[in-house]
Amino acid sequence: MRNNLAAVGIWVAVLFLVLTTLPLILSGYWLKILTNIIMFAVLAQSCNIISGYTGYPALGNVVFFGLGAYSTAILMNRIGAPFPLALLAAGLISGLYAAVLGLPILKTKGHYFVMATLGVNEATRELVNNLDFLTGGGIGMSLPIPDRSIQSFYILIYFTMLVILVSCTLLVHFVSRSPFGFALRAIRANEQAAGVMGINTTLCKTGAWVASAFFTGLAGGVYAYWLTYIESQVVFSIIIGVKFFVILLLGGAGTVFGPLLGAFMFQIIDQFIWGAFPEFHLGVLGLLMIMVVIFVPNGLLRLFETRIWFPAKGLFQALGVMGTRAGRSEKG
Partner 1 sequence: MALLQVKDVTVGFGGVKALNGLSFEVNQGEIFGVIGPNGAGKTTLLNVVSGIIRPSAGEILYRGRLVSGLPTHTITRLGVGRVFQITQPFHGLTVRENVLVGAYFGTRKSSTSTVDVDAILELVGMDKLASRPVSELSVAMRKRLEFARALALRPDLLLLDEVMAGLAPTEVDYLTGIVKRINREGITIVMVEHVMRAVMATCRRVLVMHLGKHLAVDAPEAVTRDNRVIEVYLGRRYAERMAGTAGEKRG
Binding site for partner 1 (CB under 8 A): 179, 182-183, 185-186, 188-190, 192-202, 254
In the complex with partner 1, the residue whose CB is nearer, 192 or 329, is 192
In the complex with partner 1, the residue whose CB is nearer, 78 or 177, is 177
Nearest alpha carbon to residue 222 among 15, 28, 71: 71
- Min dist. Cβ of residue 99 to partner 1 (A): 18
- Min dist. Cβ of residue 49 to partner 1 (A): 16
- Min dist. Cβ of residue 302 to partner 1 (A): 12
- Min dist. Cβ of residue 186 to partner 1 (A): 5
Length of the chain, in residues: 332
Q: Are 76 and 86 in contact (CB under 8 A)?
A: yes
Amino acid at 92: L
In the complex with partner 1, the residue whose CB is nearer, 179 or 332, is 179
Q: Are 168 and 50 in contact (CB under 8 A)?
A: no
SS3 142: strand
Pairwise CA distance, residues 106 & 202, whole Å: 8
Nearest alpha carbon to residue 67 among 39, 86, 44, 48: 86
Kindly state the greatest CA–CA separation across the chain.
Answer: 90
In the complex with partner 1, the residue whose CB is nearer, 89 or 184, is 184
In the complex with partner 1, the residue whose CB is nearer, 200 or 317, is 200
Pairwise CA distance, residues 48 & 257, whole Å: 10
- Min dist. Cβ of residue 84 to partner 1 (A): 36
In the complex with partner 1, the residue whose CB is nearer, 124 or 201, is 201
Pairwise CA distance, residues 166 & 148, whole Å: 25
Pairwise CA distance, residues 93 & 217, whole Å: 8
- Min dist. Cβ of residue 177 to partner 1 (A): 11
Pairwise CA distance, residues 246 & 319, whole Å: 38
